[in-house]
Structure 1
């Protein structure tokens, strides 16, 4: 039994290393040649695997380009699901993002240097095909967050409040993400502070008289 478990663990670690190598090599090539100028064959060769192996892990260039984003999304969703049940919805969303950010930074840097990820994030924002795919993924995350908030609050699916709140939250996250990519050069602590400050503006922006 121990031998079988050890072999299984070794196999899974090897798969993880191969996947991470493909992501890292892809991002390095994207930074060097651009998204359109990079081919799947070049990514596979840089990672020292076959094209066939590449397609065991990823559907194509778009898929590998967005892989780190998927990791970030899964961290945020898991953090929201783990928040105490008594927290108000906006507090749960804000606290989840701010408190899981160290883990997100560690997850990114376990695969690629933070500076390289920031360059890839900028590329996603500037490449129509990638941006469209990224926004589709964010819409899926919004649906899952909406379901989680409704579940926490014991609300029926037709209640619009969880979706409205998550839409506001997601809009803030997209805006602060763009600012991070443009201005902060991968400063994770700066991003944490900016994220908290922006999320703190949701309530006042919706409820206060801006002209007072």
Structure 2
């Protein structure tokens, strides 16, 4: 029986208790990222985070296993959106094009999802902290390896391959992940730390995958010189 005022097939709105829990979780994320961006990761404690939100440590640990998990919460959200975007790519696209388009075409949607939690500028500031903090960078690279395995399985599934019998999905995703890391490092080392600069670098690096793997480097212009002309 249809409930009055509720459209058929519309997702049920979370109850009051769930909405309160989500608000508390989101407040903890925002406070943690602001502290990490301002003080640095090592100088931010769980006590600092809970004090900023005026909750107990017990409440914090209901939502997060520790400081590292909350530091990466928004980043993990963005990664999950990329996985969803790869699954949704049209089947006629080549695997590399599907990965490329999944990242670039979903860029604005990912940013909107991030901004529902924290200001985009804050997310990018924390991204720089991750790149410059050995403990966080190690955790980021560890998760990148896990994400590559998930992506390889998605690519294998859409191509009708057995990921454990055919090495191509893992080879492709490893190369793709390397390109993303190059873009991240160049962005972190540069002067423009906007999301637009990150997207432009990502686009440039992804566009160079084919020439870098198959082109003649001695006779062709470098990407940097080509962009300057």
TM-score over 0.5 (shorter chain): yes
Q: Distance in 2 between matches of 1:7 and 1:80?
A: 28
Q: Distance in 2 between matches of 1:165 and 1:120?
A: 29
Alignment of 1:96-115 (within 5 A): 96-115=102-121
> Residue 85 of structure 1 contacts residue 152 of structure 1 at CA under 8 Å; is this kept in 2?
yes
SS in 2 for 1:158: coil
TM-score, normalised relative to structure 1: 0.91
Larger proportion of helix: 1
Aligned to 2:170: 163
Per-residue deviation, residues 123-143 of structure 1 (Å, max 9, x unmatched) = 111222211111111111100
More relative contact order in 1 or in 2 (CA 8 Å, sep 6+)? 1
| Structure 1, 116-125 or 186-195: larger mean CA deviation | 186-195
Per-residue deviation, residues 36-72 of structure 1 (Å, max 9, x unmatched) = 1111011011012111110011011111111111011
Q: Distance in 2 between matches of 1:110 and 1:180?
A: 24
Aligned to 1:175: 182
| Structure 1, 176-185 or 190-199: larger mean CA deviation | 176-185
Q: Distance in 1 between matches of 2:37 and 2:159?
A: 44
TM-score, normalised relative to structure 2: 0.85
Once the two structures are TM-superposed, the CA of residue 186 in structure 1 deviates from its matched residue by 4.3
Structure 1: gaps of 5 or more residues = none
After superposition, the Cα gap between the structure-2 partners of 1:189 and 1:127, relative to the gap in structure 1 and judged at 3 Å, is closer
Q: Distance in 2 between matches of 1:182 and 1:25?
A: 26
Aligned to 1:142: 148
Q: Distance in 2 between matches of 1:205 and 1:7?
A: 49
> Residue 124 of structure 2 contacts residue 195 of structure 2 at CA under 8 Å; is this kept in 1?
no
> Number of paired residues?
210
1:34 paired to 2:40: yes
Aligned to 1:84: 90
Larger radius of gyration: 2
After superposition, the Cα gap between the structure-2 partners of 1:142 and 1:6, relative to the gap in structure 1 and judged at 3 Å, is closer
